[in-house]
A and B are shown apart, each in its own frame.
Chain A
Amino acid sequence: MAMLKTVLANLLQPSRTRAPADMPPVPQTYRGALVHDAGRCTACGTCAFVCAPKAISFTQVPGISVSWHFFIGQCSFCGLCEQNCPTHAISLETAVPGVMNNAAGDGLRLESIIALKPCTRCGAAHVPLPESAMGSQWSEEEKGYCPECRRWAASAKLRSAFIPAETATPAASPALEGAGHD
């Protein structure tokens, strides 16, 4: 009799298994598909450094570009690359990650190319810093400088703050120093 009651009660209830369209909500913290924004990447290599299964690597074509590589077959979706990226170039989206066939070979591979730019001062090819990392401390012209020229510009600014322009010798004046770094 008790069993009959249970059967009748269950007949009136909807199915306990979810229909395919009835998807459970995906939490905002879900670590899914990896997305890399080449515009924000400075190729500093932090993501490759913290990646335990070595799913992230960098290659370069000298003078032209740096490539960020990701292989899903090795990824453990721990999210450390996202957590440690200083410019927030990597994010793990709530979307389902791509195809992951096996760890040996034919899974999803991503490549993101960061084009090098010539320095507006010395012409050396370098990875441009993203706008967000530049902030307001650099002038429009200085934003195109390579790291070495930025260092030179910073030290020139520091020098001019300590030594007033009229007392400075001509050789110490930044404008007359030429395109050298030292």
Chain B
Amino acid sequence: MPYTFPLGPYHPALEEPFKVKVQCQGEVIDSAVVEVGFSFRGIELVAQKRNWVEVITLIERVCGICSNTHAMTFCMAAETIAGIELPRRAAYIRTIIAELERLHSHLLWAGIGAEDIGFHSLFMEVFTLREKVMDTLEAISGNRVNYGMNCIGGVHRDIPDPTVYLPVLDELTRVLNEVVIPTFTQNPTAIARTRGVGPLTREQALEWAVVGPVARASGLDIDVRKDQPYLAYGELGFKSFVQEEGDVFARVVVRALEMLESVRLIREALLSLPAGPLKAVSGLPTIPVGEATIRTEAPRGEAFYYVASEGGNTPARVKIRTPSFVNIPAIEPMVIGQPLADLSIIQASVDPCISCTDR
């Protein structure tokens, strides 16, 4: 006899409210309905009532994990409208912060994923590693989250001595290569809980328009850093990783390889940090009439911003489309035919960020 099982909104797997309502036939899931909107904050509307400086602080709070991406994308949109050219040093510092943030986001996800499959010792290992990334971010920006690095036309803080962060990167590469990646890809427990679980074919990935690591794990080679290079990505060179299988295992592998690529990007950016000013403008910015659309690659995929200005103190419109907004509905095709017990790791495998989605 079929029955309906609600997972959430108070979640056993994530500390954020969203609901997956599944129809089950015995142990096997027949269909699923995803519901979001339990923590709506109306940031897009509030953004129209704050001036151009205040909005950056507000936009930074769209997401608790990838906060820098949002503030950075908004600043890039404002810079496009005002025709401000970003100083090269500022572009490199933004790239370093963005990649450190990606590392911390992917490590957070790897830890939560390990916990979801009951692998607590791996969770501890991953979170110890993540702590090193958080310490680096704190040393550079002064905060573990909400770094407050971006302003329109540049960055607020410098990286005075880039070489002091290189030992941390060596340690990250070592632990990722020796502990985290082998455990996820070779440990029988981890393989049994991830391989063949929650598949999303290439056709389904196109149909559900998924982005980021979820799309790359289903064989779609899309990455804004490669397709439309921004900041320093064009100069540093960028390699994207694609897996064809489309299951949870493929998503783990894609994120693991991306972490190593992020470490490489941070190392190269730190070593080739150009000299120059941090900001292109001084004082409070004035943004002329105009509009801009900007895409950046957030840790979870493509973030899209539309910003319109009517020349006043406040933006006329800030439209935000976050990667989780398109990735979360794709849980519906992933769980069909899967055991109920795998629901938790399948929905965690898209790395859903409810804070972004509900913004």
Chain A residues within 8 Å of B, Cβ to Cβ: 24, 27-31, 46, 49-53, 76-80, 83-84
Q: Tell me whether B275 is interfacial, beta carbon within 8 Å.
A: no
Is the Cβ of A31 less than 8 Å from the Cβ of B54?
no
Contact pick for B143, options A24, A28, A31, A52, CB 8 Å:
A31
Is the Cβ of B54 less than 8 Å from the Cβ of A27?
no
Is the Cβ of A27 less than 8 Å from the Cβ of B58?
no
Is the Cβ of A76 less than 8 Å from the Cβ of B53?
no
Q: Which residues of chain A are within 8 angstroms of B135 by Cβ–Cβ distance?
A: 24
Q: Which residues of chain B are within 8 angstroms of A50 by Cβ–Cβ distance?
A: 51, 53-54, 284
Query: Nearest Cβ distance between residue B177 and chain A, in whole angstroms?
Result: 22
Q: Which residues of chain B are within 8 angstroms of A52 by Cβ–Cβ distance?
A: 50, 53-58
Is the Cβ of B284 less than 8 Å from the Cβ of A80?
no
Known contacts A50-B284, A84-B284; A27 and B57 CB within 8 A of each other: no
Is the Cβ of A30 less than 8 Å from the Cβ of B146?
no
Is the Cβ of B57 less than 8 Å from the Cβ of A80?
yes
Q: Which residues of chain A are within 8 angstroms of B142 by Cβ–Cβ distance?
A: 27-31, 79
Is the Cβ of A76 less than 8 Å from the Cβ of B57?
yes
18 CB < 8 A contacts A-B: A27-B139, A29-B142, A29-B157, A46-B284, A50-B51, A50-B53, A50-B284, A52-B50, A52-B58, A76-B57, A76-B146, A79-B142, A79-B148, A80-B54, A80-B56, A80-B57, A80-B148, A84-B53
Q: Which residues of chain B are within 8 angstroms of A28 by Cβ–Cβ distance?
A: 142
Secondary structure dominating the interface of A: loop
Query: Nearest Cβ distance between residue A48 and chain B, in whole angstroms?
Result: 11
| Assembly CA distance A147 to B320 (angstroms) | 44
Q: Tell me whether B138 is interfacial, beta carbon within 8 Å.
A: yes
| Assembly CA distance A50 to B283 (angstroms) | 11
Task: Indicate the size class of the contact surface on chain B.
Answer: 20 to 34
| Assembly CA distance A76 to B148 (angstroms) | 10
| Assembly CA distance A31 to B146 (angstroms) | 11
Contact pick for B54, options A24, A51, A83, CB 8 Å:
A51
| Assembly CA distance A80 to B57 (angstroms) | 8
Query: Nearest Cβ distance between residue B132 and chain A, in whole angstroms?
Result: 12
Is the Cβ of B53 less than 8 Å from the Cβ of A77?
no
Is the Cβ of B138 less than 8 Å from the Cβ of A30?
yes
Q: Which of B147-178 contact A (CB under 8 A)?
A: 148, 151, 156-157
| Assembly CA distance A76 to B64 (angstroms) | 13
Is the Cβ of A79 less than 8 Å from the Cβ of B156?
yes
Q: Tell me whether B60 is interfacial, beta carbon within 8 Å.
A: yes
Q: Which of B50, B156, B157 gathers the greatest number of chain A CB atoms within 10 Å?
A: B156
Query: Nearest Cβ distance between residue B126 and chain A, in whole angstroms?
Result: 15
Q: Which residues of chain A are within 8 angstroms of B156 by Cβ–Cβ distance?
A: 79, 83
Q: Which residues of chain A are within 8 angstroms of B141 by Cβ–Cβ distance?
A: 29
Q: Which of B120-138 contact A (CB under 8 A)?
A: 135, 138
A-B residue pairs, 6 tightest by C-beta: A29-B142, A52-B54, A52-B57, A50-B53, A78-B57, A78-B148
Query: Nearest Cβ distance between residue B63 and chain A, in whole angstroms?
Result: 15
Query: Nearest Cβ distance between residue A74 and chain B, in whole angstroms?
Result: 12
Query: Nearest Cβ distance between residue A161 and chain B, in whole angstroms?
Result: 29
- Closest residue to A94 on the B side, CB-wise? B142
Q: Which residues of chain A are within 8 angstroms of B284 by Cβ–Cβ distance?
A: 46, 49-50, 84
| Assembly CA distance A55 to B247 (angstroms) | 47
Known contacts A78-B146, A84-B284; A49 and B138 CB within 8 A of each other: no
